[in-house]
Amino acid sequence: MIPPISIVIVNYNRERYLGDAIASVLQQTHANFELLIWDDGSTDQSLTIAQTYAQRDRRIRLVAAAHQGVTKAAYEAIAQTRGLYIGCVDSDDVLAPTALAETAAVLDSNSQIGWVYTDYVEIDAIDRITSYGRRCRIPYSQERLLVDFMTFHFRLMRRSSYERSGGIDPKFSGTAYDYDLCLKLSEVAEVRHINKPLYCYRRHDQSLSTTRTIEQILWSQRAIDRALKRRGLSDRCAIEVQWTKGTFHLRQKRHFVAQNSSIDATTPQKNSYKSSRSSVRMGSLLAIPLMTLAGATLAQAQQIVPAIDGTGTIATPQGNQIDITGGTRSGANLFHSFSQFGVRPEQIVNFESSPALQNILGRVSGGEASIVNGLVRVSGSNANLFLMNPAGIVFGTNARLDITGSFTATTATGIGINNQWFSAIGANDYTNLIGTPNSFALTTTPGAIVNAGNLSVGNSLMLLGSTVVNTGQLAAPNGQVTITSMPGQSVIRLGEVGSPLSLEVQPVERTAPNDWKFAIVPCRSC
């Protein structure tokens, strides 16, 4: 017999709270349900705790799987459920006793309603109620959901609506997958709101909302961009992040203005295009203010993965150090290509050089933002280092540089050398890439650059992208610190070598870098 309701709990190393989450489901007044517990490769005692409950109650099914991240785990867990209605409970949260009864009653009463959500309260690590959910006060509308995630917890979905929306996207491997799902659900089904706190959302020092603030911002931005495209609004509207306030603004596009300058390194920059604010009332998307960016802990699922594209980059682990060798030489330039580039706090990434080299240029072509939270070094010469990733670059609180030359981090899609382009994706004619890098092309709307670390170099330091946010420290004792924020469809040319740094902005030329074919996505959640 098919149960009317399926509840999913995805767990990873939540031994302290998992028992309470399971017990809160088993104590529901609506007792006809199945509970699927998906353990995502926990290394603590979580699996043992779940097994104990499963032995006591036949409504529980337990799946022990290899660790793959919450998004893929939730996707696969839901695929194994059978209920007509589907709900999810986080493994560190608690469901109120009447939550299933009251939400199911709404869906039972009207077949046109595809999903329902409730209010929630916030609790701390020892179950004390600390506040009534901030999002509960935000009125629902399909448009308002673009900037405010009010359909937060608890949600019960009709399976047919979940499937019609496309469900969880397993490729959307970030911490905002539930927001992406709610945006899709809002486009295919009616929703109802129960104005009662039927869910306890726990905040503690290891919760995802605490440890992955930067990832949440980037993934939420992508979810909104996807929704704008589905709704046919991407040509008219753009989402703008107010990083220092933790808010998203939906703006109507008008025209780009070529404005940029060399500025003080502590000033976060906005996109340099004119726009008008839409009629949607703006608000904070995330519960944690972005002023806490500098204290955020960055989860690291990435590693250094050379791209298999003929460039010849080699990454060799030596204890906690990864030596980068090989690559393709062209004159005094050395080129590297990576499909992933991430540095954990305890790691050192060492780009090996030689006295004859002047510039080392690395691209990241896999479509995921780079999380750099350790030390990046150039050894063997005073060569300059360029790191290009159109999907975004985030420097965590532990990020440091050991570079006697200059360092440039950019989300451009190409770096210009001798009237040719070193493209971020696709084939490059390295034989013609001889000379000094002197321009950057942003041929799409690139990802963000965020710095929360302490970056210091011997010569000059540049951060160049569409959105650049600095909450850390930047220093270049013998050169210049430059933060440049530019829109897409721009080419930025540097001034003559040996003269003070100047920037000239031009439209994209006919001979532009290869098209960036990936969606701009942040790092994969772990």
Asked whether residue 259 carries a pLDDT value surpassing 80, the answer given is no
Structure tokens at 111: 């077949």
Give the least confident one: 211-225, 253-267, 484-498.
253-267
**Measured distance between the N- and C-terminal CA atoms of the chain, rounded to whole angstroms:** 36
Average pLDDT, the chain: 81
Q: Does residue 315 register a pLDDT over 80?
A: yes
Chain center to CA of 495: 34
**Mean of the pLDDT values across residues 128-152?**
85
Q: Give me the pLDDT at residue 499, please.
A: 40
Q: Are 35 and 10 in contact (CB under 8 A)?
A: no
- Cα separation, 145 vs 227, in Å, equals 10
Q: 338-356, pLDDT tens digit by residue?
A: 999 999 888 999 999 999 9
The Cα diameter of the chain in Å comes to: 78
pLDDT of 151 above 90: no
Which residue(s) pair with 442 in the sheet? 490
Q: In what order do the strands lie in the sheet with 313-318?
A: 313-318, 321-326, 348-352, 375-379, 400-402
pLDDT band at 281 (very low <50, low <70, confident <90, very high): very low
In this prediction, residue 333 carries a pLDDT of: 97
Query: Can you read off the two tokens belonging to residue 293?
Result: 């960016």
Which residue type does 31 have? A
185 φ/ψ angles, rounded to the nearest 5 degrees:
-60, -40
Mean pLDDT of 217-241: 82
Integer Cα distance of 379 and 455 in angstroms: 17
Query: In this predicted model, what pLDDT tens digit does every residue of 176-226 receive, in sequence order?
Result: 889 899 999 999 999 999 999 999 999 876 654 444 566 677 778 888 888
* pLDDT per residue as tens digits for the range 68-87: 989 999 999 999 999 999 99
Is the pLDDT score of 319 beyond 80? yes
Residue 493 tokens read as: 């040319």
String of DSSP letters for 330-395: ETTEEEEEEEE--B-TT-EEEEE--TT--EEEEEE-SSB-EEE-SEEEEESS--EEEEE-TT-EEE
What span, in angstroms and rounded, lies between the C-alpha atoms of 200 and 363? Answer: 44
Mean pLDDT of 43-63: 96
Locate the domains of the chain by residue range. 5-211, 294-507
Nearest Cα residue to 395 out of 443, 465, 337, 336: 465
Considering only 192-201, 462-471, 491-500, which range has the smallest mean pLDDT? 491-500
Provide the percentage of residues in the chain whose pLDDT is more than 90.
51
Confidence of residue 302 (pLDDT cuts 50, 70, 90): low
CATH 3.90.550.10 fits domain 5-211: yes
pLDDT confidence bin for 255, thresholds 50/70/90: very low
Per-residue pLDDT, 396: 82
Which residues does 83 contact at the CB level (< 8 Å), separation at least 6?
2, 3, 4, 5, 6, 33, 34, 159
Distances (CA, A) of 251 to 238, 240, 259: 5, 7, 19
pLDDT in tens, 99-116: 999 999 999 999 999 999
Confidence of residue 42 (pLDDT cuts 50, 70, 90): very high
What's the CA gap between 3 and 82, in Å, rounded? 7
Quick one: CA torsion of 192, 195, 197, 202, rounded to 10 degrees?
A: 60
pLDDT for the residue numbered 245: 57
Strands 85-88 and 490-494: unpaired
Res 444: pLDDT: 66
pLDDT on residue 361:
97
Higher pLDDT, 411 or 296: 411
Q: Cβ atoms within 10 A of the Cβ of 424, count?
A: 29
Mean pLDDT of 455-464: 94
Residue 454: its H or E element? strand 454-456
213-230 vs 177-186: helix crossing angle, rounded to 10: 20
Q: Is pLDDT larger for residue 252 or for residue 350?
A: 350
- Residue 66's identity, in one-letter code, is A
The answer on pLDDT for 432 being more than 50 is yes
CATH 2.160.10.10 is held by the domain 294-507: no
Tell which wins on pLDDT, 134 or 232: 232
What span, in angstroms and rounded, lies between the C-alpha atoms of 103 and 119? 11
DSSP state, residue 135 = G
* Per-residue H/E/C for 244-299: CCCEEEEEEEEEECCCCCCCCCCCCECCCEEEEECCCCCEECCCCCHHHHHHCCCC
> Which amino acid is residue 387, in one-letter code?
L
Tell me the chain's radius of gyration from C-alpha atoms: 24
* SS3 call for 452: coil
Mean pLDDT of 483-493: 65
Mean pLDDT to the nearest integer, 106-131: 91
